[in-house]
């Protein structure tokens, strides 16, 4: 009769003989109690050196000051974040340009995207991807110069000439230099701020009712009244 091996994950764990009690952190009051206990239990024939005692008192005082400063800095940071969030509301309705290679198609019209190459290229191709990662259109751009902003020349149709569905699309640029290397690309997308979200821990703008953009990636802002 064969005996199957036991699952290696089913291992015996000996119960802990000791239980953790008390707090896992110490504050200035705890250190002061330790000092008092140390003084109460010191050898009367060899008392604590005055200089050593003064040094410990100074360390406790410095520690308390640092803790108070840390608390004040945390409150200041919270206040600054709240002020920044309030100021971001003023971006609603404005047109912004951000570092992103995402564009949105609304009512069959794609939003504005552009790119800049870090080197001159002999050939360049722009591939448009849908949300599922499928290539819906490829655009041949030919030879392009470095440090020049090129607009995304996409009319919102797929390779068959049919209009794509409304939604988010990703454009990827591949430029090959004369020596066969692939040039670095800087992407930008432009849209009107239609939403603002704080739930992710950092403020995220919504452009054209669809494109999520981190506030830190915003390059320029155009007044919505212009």
Question: Nearest to residue 94, comparing CAs of 204, 214, 203, 190?
Answer: 190
Give 76-96 pLDDT, tens digit per residue.
665 455 556 667 778 888 999
Domain-wise residue ranges, the chain: 91-222
In this predicted model, which residue has the larger pLDDT, 140 or 34?
Answer: 140
CA distance 194 to 202: 17
* Widest distance between CA atoms in the chain: 98
User: Residues 140-154: what's their mean pLDDT?
Assistant: 96
Asked whether the beta carbons of 88 and 203 are under 8 A apart, the reply is yes
Give 191-219 pLDDT, tens digit per residue.
999 988 876 667 889 999 899 998 889 99
* Fold of the 91-222 domain: Immunoglobulin-like (2.60.40)
pLDDT at 2: 44
In this predicted model, which residue has the larger pLDDT, 216 or 171?
Answer: 171
Q: In the predicted model, is pLDDT for residue 182 greater than 70? A: yes
CA distance 28 to 208: 53
Percent of the chain scoring above 70 in pLDDT: 65
pLDDT at 18: 59
DSSP-assigned states of every residue in 194-223: EEEE-TTSS-EEEETTTEEEEGGGEEEEE-
Residue in this structure with the two tokens 């230099």, named with its chain if needed: 177
pLDDT at 70: 72
What is the pTM (predicted TM-score) of this model?
A: 0.62
């Amino acid at each position: 009769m064969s005996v199957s091996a036991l699952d290696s994950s089913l291992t015996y764990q000996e119960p802990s003989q000791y239980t953790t009690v008390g707090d896992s952190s110490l504050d200035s009051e705890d250190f002061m109690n330790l000092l008092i206990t140390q003084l109460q239990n010191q050898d009367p024939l060899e008392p604590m050196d005055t200089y050593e005692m003064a040094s410990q008192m100074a360390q406790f005082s410095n520690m308390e000051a640092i803790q108070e400063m840390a608390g004040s800095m945390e409150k200041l940071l919270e206040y600054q974040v709240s002020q920044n969030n309030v100021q971001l509301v003023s971006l609603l309705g404005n047109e912004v340009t951000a570092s992103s290679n995402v564009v949105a198609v609304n009512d069959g019209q794609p939003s504005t995207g552009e790119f800049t190459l870090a080197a001159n290229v002999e050939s360049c191709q722009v591939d448009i991807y849908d949300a599922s990662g499928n290539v819906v259109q490829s655009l041949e751009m030919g030879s392009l110069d470095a440090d020049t902003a090129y607009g995304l020349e996409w009319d919102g149709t797929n390779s068959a000439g049919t209009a794509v569905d409304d939604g988010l699309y990703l454009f990827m640029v591949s430029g090959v230099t004369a020596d066969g290397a692939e040039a670095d690309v800087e992407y930008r997308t432009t849209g009107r701020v239609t939403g603002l979200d704080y739930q992710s821990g950092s403020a995220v703008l919504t452009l054209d009712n669809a494109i999520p953009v981190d506030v830190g990636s915003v390059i320029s802002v155009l007044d919505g009244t212009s």
